[in-house]
Amino acid sequence: QKEVEQNSGPLSVPEGAIASLNCTYSDRGSQSFFWYRQYSGKSPELIMFIYSNGDKEDGRFTAQLNKASQYVSLLIRDSQPSDSATYLCAPSRGTALIFGKGTTLSVSS
């Protein structure tokens, strides 16, 4: 089983729709979970993080965590063309973060 799994996509949504990005992880010891956005040719940038089971909202973004199911997701409401990027899920492993391969999101106007 891969340590962090994400659907590679592309996930295509129309402008204004909700985009749902999913991630599963294998290490039950992971304590914190991060979502990064990476535009083509650029470095990853942090969108948000979550530590506790449940939902966490930050503007148009909502992260959801279910530790029992080892599942974390990111919802993007009112998707914009500028949200088109690759989204990386990153659970912690001790001091480090272990990244999934990412899901490519395409938002069409």
Shortest distance (Å) from residue 24 CB to another protein: 15
Smaller CB separation from another protein, 16 or 94: 94
What are the backbone dihedrals phi and psi of residue 84, each rounded to the nearest 5 degrees, phi first? -65, 115
Which residue type, as a one-letter code, is found at position 31? Answer: Q
Smaller CB separation from another protein, 44 or 83: 44
Q: Is 68 left (phi over 0), alpha (psi -120 to 50) or beta?
A: alpha
Residues 36-75 that bind another protein (CB under 8 A): 36, 42-46, 49
Which one of 65, 88, 105, 107 is in contact with another protein (CB under 8 A)?
88
d(CA 27, CA 21): 19
The radius of gyration of the chain from alpha carbons, rounded to an integer in Å, stands at: 13
Which one of 24, 92, 103, 104 is in contact with another protein (CB under 8 A)?
92
21 touches 9 (CB < 8 A): no
Contacts to another protein by CB under 8 A: 31-32, 34, 36, 42-46, 49, 88, 90, 92, 95-102
